[in-house]
Amino acid sequence: MTINRRTFLTQHIGCACHIAFMAAAMPLAARRALAAESLGTIVAKEKFGTLEKVADGVWAHVSAPLEGDRTTVSNGGLIAGRDGVLAIEGFQTPAGAQWLAGKAKELTGKWPTHVALTHYHADHANGVAGYLAGADKPPIRSTARTRDLVIERNQTPPDPNRVAALKDVIVLSPTETSTLDLGGRTVKLIPRGGHTDSDVTVELDDPGVVFCGDLVWNKMFPNYVDTVPTKMATSIRGLKRASASTIYVPGHGPVAKNADIDRYLAMFAAVEAAARKAHGAGISAEDAGNNFELPDSLGMWALFNPAAKTFYQRAFAAWYKEIKA
């Protein structure tokens, strides 16, 4: 079977698989501007991304998939306490998880003692077995739904190590907040939804840090592949905090503050308004997405090549599904 781009885009399960196609047409200056943004102190820089310290004992990994290296693809990070270190996300490849684990060792003296997955998409989960490559075997936390979806749907490529790693996950409640004590530091794992069937945010109260998974994308247009938009909007509003000092680590794009979340919500609402209008006028999601442009006032949302219209079309299709229901 030959896989053309359309087949790939519609069948490949991953939320950032479109980024590789965006990269080719994205102007170098814009790519560089996106890659250069950081809120914290950079402690490691690789072709595939940048690790930055965003608070004491908290590091955000911001991937740079537009540069063409797909070792990690999604964002993630580390939270360290007195007794343990939590690694967030499994990334696209085991090499990505192993790299982050090595950084944990350098920065804290410890290989991760815990791992958490925010959702099942390949670029966040497929490399999770990389954490188990050494002598240390940190337990992995995810919801049962996320575990099942990784095992069932993430087949490119299939990986028995990944399946074995997930068999023993510590199951997170799909309805109640779970906590993890790292020693003098309690992490909250909060079940949410809307980007997929099961999303979890990983949060600290003080310092205020929210690892958002793919409920938040910053300056990159989100992939609506599994999205239930109204549910996602509720989750975004739910994770946003009043405190201006809050740091948000999005699933893709640079680390964000409240103003970025507001801009993201405005973008989300603009897509909704356009989808409702087009649906009311009897225009197909395909045509409506194809004709859609985000207003300049919403700033940059990385996708400005012809293939990008596919992602607008997918966003419109997600809204149409809800409007019809």
Structural contact between residues 173 and 180, judged by C-beta atoms closer than 8 angstroms: no
> Where does this chain touch Zn ion (CB under 5 A) — which range of 135-143, 173-181, 208-216, 275-283?
208-216
Residue nearest to Zn ion (CB): 15
- Residue among 71 and 223 whose Cβ is closer to Zn ion: 223
Q: Is the peptide bond before 157 cis (omega within 30 degrees of 0)?
A: yes
Q: Which two tokens stand for residue 3?
A: 């896989």
What is the DSSP annotation of 9-35? HHH---SSTTHHHHHHHS-HHHHHHHH
C-alpha distance across the termini of the chain, in Å? 35
Query: Does 15 engage in binding with Zn ion (CB under 5 A)?
Result: yes
> Where does this chain touch Zn ion (CB under 5 A) — which range of 14-22, 163-171, 177-185, 298-306?
14-22
- CB of residue 166 vs Zn ion: minimum separation in angstroms? 17
- Residue among 18 and 121 whose Cβ is closer to Zn ion: 121
Query: Does 159 engage in binding with Zn ion (CB under 5 A)?
Result: no
Cα–Cα dist 114/83, whole Å? 11
- Residue among 203 and 214 whose Cβ is closer to Zn ion: 214
- CB of residue 233 vs Zn ion: minimum separation in angstroms? 16
- CB neighbour list of residue 19: distance below 8 Å, 6 or more residues apart: 65, 66, 73, 220, 252
> Where does this chain touch Zn ion (CB under 5 A) — which range of 11-19, 108-116, 239-247, 287-295?
11-19
- Residue among 15 and 308 whose Cβ is closer to Zn ion: 15
- Residue among 121 and 145 whose Cβ is closer to Zn ion: 121
> Where does this chain touch Zn ion (CB under 5 A) — which range of 29-37, 117-125, 127-135, 283-291?
117-125
Query: Does 214 engage in binding with Zn ion (CB under 5 A)?
Result: yes
- CB of residue 137 vs Zn ion: minimum separation in angstroms? 26
- CB of residue 156 vs Zn ion: minimum separation in angstroms? 15
Structural contact between residues 251 and 124, judged by C-beta atoms closer than 8 angstroms: yes
- Residue among 214 and 260 whose Cβ is closer to Zn ion: 214
**Total residues interacting with Zn ion, rule: CB under 5 A:** 3
Tell me which of 114, 121, 192, 263 binds Zn ion, using CB under 5 A: 121
Q: How many CA atoms lie within 13 A of 100 on its CB side?
A: 43
- CB of residue 23 vs Zn ion: minimum separation in angstroms? 18
- Residue among 123 and 272 whose Cβ is closer to Zn ion: 123
Nearest one of 101, 125, 127, 133 to 114, comparing CA atoms:
101
Q: Which residue has the tokens 């990994």?
A: 61
Q: Which two tokens stand for residue 206?
A: 């003080």
Nearest one of 212, 318, 226, 225 to 272, comparing CA atoms:
318
- State which of positions 26-85 bind Zn ion (CB under 5 A): none
3-state secondary structure of 181: strand
List residues binding Zn ion (CB under 5 A).
15, 121, 214
